A and B are shown apart, each in its own frame.
Chain A
Amino acid sequence: MSTVALPSARRIAWRRRRRSAAAAWRQYRGNRAGMVGLVVLVLFGLLALAAPLLADHAGLAAVNSTENPVWASPSEFHPLGTDHLGRSVWTQFVWGSRISLLIGLTATVLAMVIGTLVGVVSGFFGGRTGGVLMRITEWFLVIPFLPLAIALAAVLGPSVQNIILVIGITSWPATARVIRAQVLTVKERLYVDRSRALGASSGHLMGRHIMPNIAPLILANTTLTVPIAILSETTLSFLGLGDPTRPSWGKMLEEAFAAGALSEHAWWYYVPPGLGVMLVVLAFVLCGHALEEILDPRLREQRS
């Protein structure tokens, strides 16, 4: 009699996860808006990654642009024209996409990590700890984002790390609140009670039961927080609080405005960066909505 080797519990769990991921992907593919968003994101991602191939990094330095005419409109030499110092706008656009996307993604990760931690702990534990954490979250929510970001940027000084810090610090409360609400819901579910009755530790409960249930929500929330982070970075850079040594789309808008691109009719300097931001943000929003619909079928009914 041969014994059939049964796959381990873990194997089964992973197989199940892979299958549901494939199903989710199929569902996602059916969502037209989501696909459009995904394509746009991939395109911009490629643009950012392929920056060295698309534009010479040295073109960012004003000293290397002294031969170029200033405020030149788009031509075969400079696909997006030049700015007030003669630098190629296309070069700034391509390399700036890296910083804008990097800051957007990193700041979001920071916000999500802090927000999730605070949200899960305060939702799960309740009582004094939960109350205190909730109070802190509410305090942060009440202070208006832009003034707080300005104050922090003024104090910390403008650099890429500090901007990531500033956006992360000002964005986590919104996430924490949403996560906390979800954790409270999940906490009430039966299997959690049963697990606790069986003597499971808090860590086990949080790690094995709560987290997997809220993971999809975290993913969807992340996709919707990135656009906010990117818009924040654009605004902060526009106000002059971004890193002055690195190009970014917000910095291009700031320099365009300060150098008088509007009166020079130099649309090639200020239209592309804003367009880039808009498309990337839109793409993330569409993807985020598509993900939400997969997670919560009710939403699909609603939105369509």
Chain B
Amino acid sequence: MSARFVSGKVLGSLATLFFVVCFNFFLFRVVEGDPVASLFRGRNLTATQRAALTRQFGLDGSTGEQFVRYLEQTAQVNLGRSYATNQPVSKEIASKAWATIALVGISTLLSTVFGVVIGIAAAWRRRTKADYTATTFTMATYAMPDFWLGMLLLSFFAVTLGWFPVGGIEDASSNATGVAHLADQAKHLFLPCLTLTLAYLGEYALVMRSSLLDTMREDYLVLARAKGLREILVRNRHAVPNALLPVVTIIAINFGFVLSGAIAVEAIFSWPGLGLATYDALNGPDLPMLQGLFLLFSAAVIVFNLLADLLYAYLDPRVRTA
């Protein structure tokens, strides 16, 4: 890969990121009413107090001045203070990020593995009952809203059967540490993770299956078969690796959407991650929080799209010369 190719892509991504930063500011300014007045409703603020609070919330000055201040602060990763908790937005986001990364990361991993395996199995056994079952199942999970699936699982396994907790990440009143603590968190992670895994795996299975069916027709495989190579080897050594390419790209791109993909599911399970933070911030709305989250989500997608592009170029030499 030439340096020119890479730097071109990187610069493009930076430009997009800057555009998003500006867009972010103006988008939420439009929604703004008077947060100081509404947050301090019924507190009989004196003029001095009101002025001090307006300054504290960064709402003084003209829109232009506020925009410049916004750019400066964003560059220093100062994303303002949440209206709901009065804590720095960057701190709130940092404390909640890992819960989402854990949940969605594990789900993506599991759904990729299972999706690919199911896709391969279905392609290999095409037209058999197993294929039809697998395809129907994956289409069904693809078609259902992910949070609805979460509601069903929650109501059956947690509310009715009581096998799993109804929400949260851990038992807040227990003082368990070490392994017991991890076990407790794992118990809370199970249902949301299951929901997301089922929700994502449909796409991977379907794409893997069609990609593999496509590849199996390719000429070089015909040659391999003609040479007398066993089918299993044809599949595993030649077809699958090549068929994986589009799947890999999708995975890389999906990682970018990881952070924002779980908003509704986290809300259902009260999983204290960025998704729940977004859901809560919508009630208000807690504008600095929404702004910060929006920026983070967009940045994640931009970064992972860049990585996906570079990865694809690395794996498939045909693209680099384009």
A residues near B (Cβ < 8 Å) are 138-139, 142-144, 146-148, 150-152, 154-155, 227, 231, 234-235, 238-241, 253, 256-257, 262-263, 265, 267, 270-271, 273-274, 277-279, 281-282, 285-286, 301-304
Contact = CB atoms under 8 A, between A and B. Distances in A.
Interface in B137-167: 139-140, 142-145, 147-149, 151-152, 154-155, 159-160, 166
Contacts of A139: 16, 19
Interface stretch (B27-35, B84-92, B244-252): B27-35
Contacts of A253: 145, 147-148, 151
A239 B31 contact: no
Contact of A151 (B19, B148, B290): B290
Interface stretch (B44-52, B183-191, B226-234, B294-302): B294-302
Contacts of A273: 148
A146 B145 CA distance: 14
Nearest to B154: A262
Interface residues of B, number: 51
A144 B298 contact: yes
Nearest to A267: B155
Contacts of B57: none
B302 A282 contact: no
Interface string B100-112: 0000000000000
A268 B154 CA distance: 15
12 contacts: A138-B16, A139-B16, A142-B20, A142-B302, A143-B301, A147-B297, A151-B294, A238-B264, A262-B166, A265-B159, A274-B149, A274-B152
Contact of B268 (A148, A257, A267): A257
Contacts of A238: 145, 147, 264
Contacts of B145: 231, 234-235, 238, 253, 274, 277-278
Contacts of A286: 139
Given A143-B298, A144-B301, A235-B264, A151 B139 contact: no
Contacts of B155: 262, 265, 267, 270
B16 A155 contact: no
A147 B24 CA distance: 11
B184 to A, nearest CB: 22
A150 B16 contact: no
Contacts of B30: 155
B139 A282 contact: yes
B53 to A, nearest CB: 23
A274 B282 contact: no
B151 A147 contact: no
Given A285-B139, A302-B210, A240 B302 contact: no
Contact of A278 (B140, B147, B210): B140
A274 B144 contact: yes
B268 A271 contact: no
A138 B256 CA distance: 15
Given A147-B293, A147-B297, A150-B278, A227 B143 contact: yes
B290 to A, nearest CB: 7
B260 interface: yes
Contacts of B70: none
Contacts of A302: 210, 213-214
Interface string B287-322: 000100110011011100100000000000000000
